C-alpha cells in the first residue's frame, strides 16, 4: 500500500533534470529510472548499516543517496541527507531518521514514477 502524496512534503521540481538532459526525454527516462532505483535501494542499505551499527557506512550512503537524487528538486530529502553526511551522525536518532527517509523516499518515488509514466518512450 502506498502512502498518499502529502502537500506538506511538497512536489518535486524537475527543472534541474530538464536542464541536465537538455529536454531529451529518452535520457531523462534513463536518469529517472536510475533515481527510482536509488529511492528504492538506498533506504534499505542505510537501514542495514544501522542494524550493523556502522555509522560511518551510514554517512557514506547518505552522501551517495544525496548525489543520486540531486536532480529531483526535493529540498526536504536533500536537506536531511546533507545533515546525515556531516560528521555529527553519531548524535542522530537513527530510528526517527529512517522513518523520515522512508517517508520522503516513498513520496519522491511516487512523483518519479508518475514522471516516468508521463514521458515513457
Residue 105 lies in a domain: yes
Among the listed residues 58, 61, 79, the one whose alpha carbon sits nearest the alpha carbon of residue 70: 79
Residue 6 lies in a domain: no
Residue 92 lies in a domain: yes
Is the distance from CB of 61 to CB of 45 less than 8 angstroms?
yes
**Residue span of the structural domain in which 87 resides:** 15-119
**Rounded to 5°, angle at Cα 101 from 99 and 103:** 70
Number of domains making up the chain:
1
What span, in angstroms and rounded, lies between the C-alpha atoms of 100 and 121? 33
Residue 61 lies in a domain: yes
Residue 10 lies in a domain: no
- pLDDT, tens digit, 9 for 90 and up, residues 94-114: 889 999 999 999 999 999 999
Among the listed residues 31, 44, 46, 3, the one whose alpha carbon sits nearest the alpha carbon of residue 112: 31
Residue 90 lies in a domain: yes
- pLDDT, tens digit, 9 for 90 and up, residues 55-84: 889 999 999 999 989 889 999 999 999 888
- Model confidence, pTM: 0.86
Residue 115 lies in a domain: yes
Residue 21 lies in a domain: yes
Amino acid at each position: 500500500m502506498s502512502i498518499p502524496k502529502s502537500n506538506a512534503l511538497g512536489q518535486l521540481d524537475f527543472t534541474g533534470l530538464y536542464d541536465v538532459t537538455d529536454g531529451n526525454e529518452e535520457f531523462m527516462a534513463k536518469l529517472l529510472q536510475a533515481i527510482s532505483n536509488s529511492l528504492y535501494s538506498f533506504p534499505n542499505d542505510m537501514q542495514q548499516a544501522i542494524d550493523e551499527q556502522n555509522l560511518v557506512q551510514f554517512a557514506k550512503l547518505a552522501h551517495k543517496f544525496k548525489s543520486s537524487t540531486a536532480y529531483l528538486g526535493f529540498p526536504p530529502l536533500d536537506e536531511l541527507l546533507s545533515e546525515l553526511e556531516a560528521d555529527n551522525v553519531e548524535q542522530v536518532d537513527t530510528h526517527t531518521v529512517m522513518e523520515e527517509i522512508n517517508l520522503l523516499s516513498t513520496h519522491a518515488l511516487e512523483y518519479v514514477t508518475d514522471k516516468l509514466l508521463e514521458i515513457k518512450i
